[in-house]
Amino acid sequence: MSTIQRAYKTELALNDKQTTACRKHAGAARWAYNWGLARKQEAYQATGASPTAVDLHRELNALKQTTVPWMYAVSKSAPQEALRNLDHAFTHFYRRVQLKKQGKLRGKVGYPQRKTRKHGLGSFRLTGAIVVFPAAIQLPRLGRLRLKERRYVPTTAKVLSATVSEQAGHWYVSVLVEQEHVVPANSGPTVGVDLGVKTLATLSDGATEANPRHLRSCLKQLKRCQRAVSRKQKGSCNRRKAAQRLGTRHRTVAHQRADTLHQFTSRLAKTKAVVVMEDPHVAGMLKNHHLAQAIGDVGFGEFRRQLTYKAAWYGCQVVVASRWEPSSKTCSGCGWVDEELALGERTFACRNPKGSCGLVLDRDLNAALNLAKLVDSSSDSQNACGEGSAGVGLTAGVKLPLVKQESNTV
Ligand SMILES: [Zn+2]
């Protein structure tokens, strides 16, 4: 028995008054975030040091008495948590700068940006006295809000925080709770998972996870909506309406993607004892990203994040091949590396000059098999996935990529 943290997200059924109150809270959070960002930039340019969330909150409390009295109308945790988010944004930015320096990052480093209403009203997080009822939730300042789904959020667990967010006119609450949890015994097999080109994933046991079909048709509609928006005159009423329709479409697609990914990661964590995957940073650099649509926007990193926390719940181990190794170019039969294998070639055929082992295999399956083998062969030489060992390096001379044990604490 151990305690775990888990979030339950569900839709709110708000009346007009409550919607207004939520908009005010989201506005206060947004304002605090932008104000904090500006203050951090100012202070950094003036002194070279940047104030923390705690400093900023103290400063903001003083401001409430003079410049922003309207902030008294919202719960104090909305701006406070927004400032905390800002601190996290900077932490991530520094982390990504480091990754970029090490050449492990393809994308942008993500310097924290101002929040605008252009991409939705955003969200705010509340802490303190939060009570969950079967069909409602009581939040500080906002009172009792109705939930659309009954009995989804546990009523007895200890609530740590609640985050209210808006997307395309719908409001949601995500309740973070701490609950008792028993990790079940997991006696499943070891599998390698190759993510993403055309199929969502290929497992080393031969199973594939297809990209759902409804997603493709939805993406088509998404493009049509997008074109409709760009044809409308800027600033016009029709453009606003078209943008609203586009937002709704985006919401549907986002939900479908999230659903597919969540179901897949849950299934893996529940039925496999060890899952070996590529380092998402590396995978992202090697792969043709736009083909992997179901993972698409959320990225390989999201797959890893979900799999890691679910693995901890269901007694599964996640092993990440942390150094670049040509998993798709290596023959899973004899270990020969095909340097000439092009990205478009869908089949791997062994052409080992020292004698081919005769392997002809789907490219992704071959890659998945190589990943699965990392654990098998490394546990021969050294116990690479032993309990609690993090980032085990293999002994020199053994030509195997480094494997990293994901931390099983949430
Ligand atoms: Zn071979």
pLDDT in tens, 227-283: 999 999 999 999 999 999 998 988 888 888 888 889 999 999 999 999 998 876 555
| Residue 162 clears pLDDT 70, i.e. is over it | yes
CA of 336 to the centre of ligand 1 (A): 6
CA of 353 to the centre of ligand 1 (A): 10
CA of 33 to the centre of ligand 1 (A): 56
CA of 334 to the centre of ligand 1 (A): 4
Backbone angles phi, psi at 291, to 5 degrees: -75, -25
Most confidently modeled range among 139-148, 217-226, 290-299: 139-148
pLDDT in tens, 185-209: 988 899 999 876 567 788 999 898 8
CA of 381 to the centre of ligand 1 (A): 22
CA of 291 to the centre of ligand 1 (A): 28
pLDDT in tens, 307-328: 999 999 999 999 988 655 677 8
pLDDT of residue 119: 81
Indicate if the alpha-carbon torsion angle 85, 89, 90, 95 is positive or negative: positive
| Residue 43 clears pLDDT 90, i.e. is over it | yes
pLDDT of residue 114: 96
pTM check: above 0.85: no
pLDDT of residue 386: 37
Active-site residue set: 194, 278, 364
CA of 321 to the centre of ligand 1 (A): 21
pLDDT average, residue stretch 302-307: 88
Percent pLDDT > 70 in the chain is: 84
pLDDT in tens, 45-71: 999 899 999 999 999 999 999 999 999
pLDDT of residue 29: 97
pLDDT in tens, 68-95: 999 999 999 999 999 999 999 999 999 9
CA of 337 to the centre of ligand 1 (A): 9
CA of 405 to the centre of ligand 1 (A): 28
